[in-house]
């Protein structure tokens, strides 16, 4: 079981380019697993963790409803935003500058074979990170992701999640609003959930900007602890 994970920091990268790159790594791991099975080999499968920011983009998951995108193609262009229908779970979400997006591409057979546990640990990673900033973040029953003030009229989402898995290999992941422009969320019904607000770490802390590198380091620390993994930078 290979618990080493190669960290790749991609900077600001177009969503489609990052998606294609994820697919490439994902397929490489799958091909190796199939080779192992067919040829009765035991070759080590690699794990990757991509960290990235995207230019403005809206993505719709497999179970999503296009009606949850509230603007036309022309309005998308005016806002300098793109739209993609993709192969992760979940509904519609927004990505943009100031949002820390993480794509763990893991062979879960190196860790545990439980997708539910995988999602809960990703949520726990974010909850533990936000706790370091004095925020009480939590899960909302029946709604994947991380929220603040759950069960109150002020419930708001700070981190969205959506993953895909095949033969225990994962792709896609989480999007944590750090210094996000929340106005872009007004153009969608986030995750298809009506009447729920969205927030960002800088807004919650009343600051203009939170250092992205600082948040990233905290997330990786908690990821490493929860998955008992070694992050290779």
3 state DSSP class of 183? helix
For residue 116, count CB atoms less than 10 angstroms from its CB and return exposed for 0-12, middle for 13-18, buried for 19 or more. Answer: exposed
Considering 191, 210, 212, 219, which one is annotated as catalytic?
Answer: 191
159 classed as catalytic:
no
Find out whether 93 is annotated in a ligand binding site: yes
Find out whether 17 is annotated in a ligand binding site: no
* Interior/surface letters 155-189, b for 16+ CB within 10 angstroms, e for the rest: bbbbbbbbbbbeebbbbbbbbbbbbbebebbebbb
3 state DSSP class of 154? coil
CB 179 within 8 Å of CB 209: yes
Kindly report the backbone phi and psi dihedral angles of residue 187, in degrees, each rounded to the nearest multiple of 5, phi listed first.
Answer: -90, 0
Find out whether 18 is annotated in a ligand binding site: no
Kindly report the backbone phi and psi dihedral angles of residue 99, in degrees, each rounded to the nearest multiple of 5, phi listed first.
Answer: -115, 130
Find out whether 56 is annotated in a ligand binding site: no
Find out whether 183 is annotated in a ligand binding site: no
Find out whether 114 is annotated in a ligand binding site: no
Find out whether 154 is annotated in a ligand binding site: no
Find out whether 155 is annotated in a ligand binding site: no
DSSP at 2: -
CA 45 – CA 208 distance, rounded (Å): 42
CA 90 – CA 206 distance, rounded (Å): 30
Find out whether 173 is annotated in a ligand binding site: yes
Find out whether 92 is annotated in a ligand binding site: yes
Find out whether 81 is annotated in a ligand binding site: no
Phi-psi region of 142 (alpha: psi -120 to 50; beta: other; left: phi over 0): left
Q: Please compute Rg for the chain using Cα positions.
A: 17
Find out whether 212 is annotated in a ligand binding site: no
The two tokens of residue 62 are 């497999």
Find out whether 58 is annotated in a ligand binding site: no
Find out whether 171 is annotated in a ligand binding site: no
CA 200 – CA 207 distance, rounded (Å): 10
Binding residues: 88-95, 160-162, 173-175
Binding-site entries for substrate: 88-95, 160-162, 173-175
**Catalytic site positions:** 191
């Amino acid at each position: 079981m290979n618990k080493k994970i190669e960290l790749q920091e991609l900077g600001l990268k177009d969503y489609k380019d990052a998606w294609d790159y994820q697919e490439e790594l994902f397929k490489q791991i799958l091909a190796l697993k199939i080779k192992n099975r067919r040829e009765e080999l035991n070759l080590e499968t690699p794990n990757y963790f991509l960290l990235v920011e995207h230019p403005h983009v809206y993505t719709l998951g497999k179970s999503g409803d296009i009606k949850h995108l509230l603007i036309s193609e022309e309005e998308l262009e005016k806002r300098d935003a793109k739209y993609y229908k993709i192969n992760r779970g979940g509904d519609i979400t927004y990505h943009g500058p100031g949002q820390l997006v993480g794509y763990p591409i893991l062979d879960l057979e190196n860790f545990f074979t439980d997708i539910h546990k995988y999602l809960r640990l990703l949520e726990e990673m974010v909850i533990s990170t936000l706790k370091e900033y004095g925020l009480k973040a939590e899960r909302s029953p029946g709604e994947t992701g991380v929220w603040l003030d759950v069960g109150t009229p002020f419930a708001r989402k700070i981190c969205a999640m959506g993953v895909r898995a095949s033969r225990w290999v994962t792709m896609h992941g989480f999007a944590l609003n750090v210094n996000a422009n929340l106005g872009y969320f007004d153009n969608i019904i986030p995750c298809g959930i009506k009447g729920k607000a969205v927030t960002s770490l800088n807004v919650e802390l009343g600051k203009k900007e939170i250092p992205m590198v600082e948040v990233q380091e905290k997330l990786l620390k908690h990821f490493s602890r929860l998955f008992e993994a070694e992050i290779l930078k």
